[in-house]
Amino acid sequence: MIRKSDPRGPGMLVRRAVRGVLTAALSAVVFPLLYLTVPFFRLRIVELTASALGHLVGNVDLHLRRRKLGRYDGDEVFVIFCDRAANQAVQRMIARHVLLVSDLTLNRLFVLVAPILVRTRFHEPLVMTDAMYRDYSSTGAVLGLTRQEEAHGVELLNRAGLGPEDWFVCIHARDPGFHQVVRRNLDSSYHDYRNSDINRYDLAASHILERGGKVVRFGRHMQAELRFGGEGVFDLANCEDDLTEVYLAARTRFMLCGNSGVCHLALMFDTPFAMTNMVPYGDLPGRLNALYIPKLLRDRSSGEILDFRRLLEAGLIRGGRSGRLEYSLHVTETYEKLGLEWVENTADDIRDLCLDMFDMVDGREPPPGGREAQIHYRETFLSHIEGREYAGQLGPRFALKYRDLMV
């Protein structure tokens, strides 16, 4: 007897046959129509992974900025297929600037012809490469809120207890909750190494409160319980209205977030932001008004923290000179096979990053030696990354604290 899960089962064969017939029939209609457009304009068709906030916001926002910079020819027309967007408010914002196809049926039909489309002149991937750092830092925000959305955002914050005179800092840490809900049929544990503990933000939160600000935790499908609180701390995670996290990203003094797609909300509005627990090494925040601090890597057997020289030589910094090794730096299993484990930022590290951000937004210089330590790290271990001088930089207090790992 053939098990249901066996790909050779008769049910699977029938489904493949039906799919093949539908693809052939649909292609016979679609592709002649596409080629009819060639004399008039250059049609570009994009498939967007919209269920992940980072791709929904980041890929399209970067495309719009590059269009603003004149990176595309004037006769190019982009059509973006976008199904099940991670945030409906963001989807509406995007639809004001591009031809966005969000209809479920049309997206299902698109999936049928996509394997053929990617081999034609009409397919256009929207990818984020190292060149994006210069593009982000060379342009201002393209996407924005309407007056109606602004008014609704004010109402949402008023309901939560935040008034127009209040200033606040948004905080977020990536946890498994989002992917368990949004991609529940897929195993997303391969990048669990990017997760971190929101409760290590407690010292940073205390510092923000001491300065007279408020602290707002936000995000969708958050699983972890916030264990610090009190007056001035607002847990607005998992709000039903999609505009909540968008408006918070636009209004926050700066964002303190983990290695997650929410950072693209800050990028979208040119909001200053700082990323904690940034991994894999070599990934950088998208523009100059940002800082980051990475997790550290520890040898499980010896307990030794690996210095960045060894990481570079081992090919564990993305794009490094040993990058041709068969490492997939975005997969948890890579580090487990090497006998390595990630060490999260401490509460002190995160508070120091918060202090660095206040220095940045208030126009103060970093602590003595901090600027030099940032540049030393960047030019010693990231010199292979194009546009690194336009990207977010290592937190200066982190660079000073861990300078022994950066020789």
- Buried/exposed 371-380: b ≥16 CB within 10 Å, e otherwise: eebbebbbee
Do residues 255 and 263 make contact, with C-beta atoms less than 8 angstroms apart?
Answer: yes
Three-state secondary structure along 209-261? Answer: HHCCCEEEECCCCCCCCCCCCCCCEEECCCCCCCHHHHHHHHHCCCEEECCCC
Query: CA 356 to CA 274: how far, in whole Å?
Result: 9
Query: CA 107 to CA 85: how far, in whole Å?
Result: 12
Give CATH 3.40.50.2000 domain extents, the chain: 147-406
Do residues 81 and 48 make contact, with C-beta atoms less than 8 angstroms apart?
Answer: yes
Structure confidence at residue 310 (pLDDT): 95
* DSSP for 82-98, written as a single string: E-S-S-HHHHHHHHTTS
* DSSP for 327-383, written as a single string: --TT-HHHHHHTTEEEEPPPHHHHHHHHHHHHHHHTTPPPSTTHHHHHHHHHHHHST
Structure tokens at 398: 């982190």
Q: What DSSP element (H or E) covers 302?
A: none
At 57 the three-state DSSP class reads: helix
> Cβ–Cβ contacts within 10 Å for residue 361, how many?
13
Could you report the average pLDDT of every consecutive run of 10 residues in the chain (407 residues)? Answer: 47 81 92 95 92 90 94 91 91 95 92 93 88 93 97 97 96 82 67 91 98 96 91 94 96 96 96 97 94 98 97 85 58 92 98 98 97 97 94 98 97
Look up residue 401 and give its amino acid.
Answer: K
Structure confidence at residue 320 (pLDDT): 55
Q: Which CATH superfamily is domain 147-406 in?
A: Glycogen Phosphorylase B; (3.40.50.2000)
> Cβ–Cβ contacts within 10 Å for residue 24, how many?
12
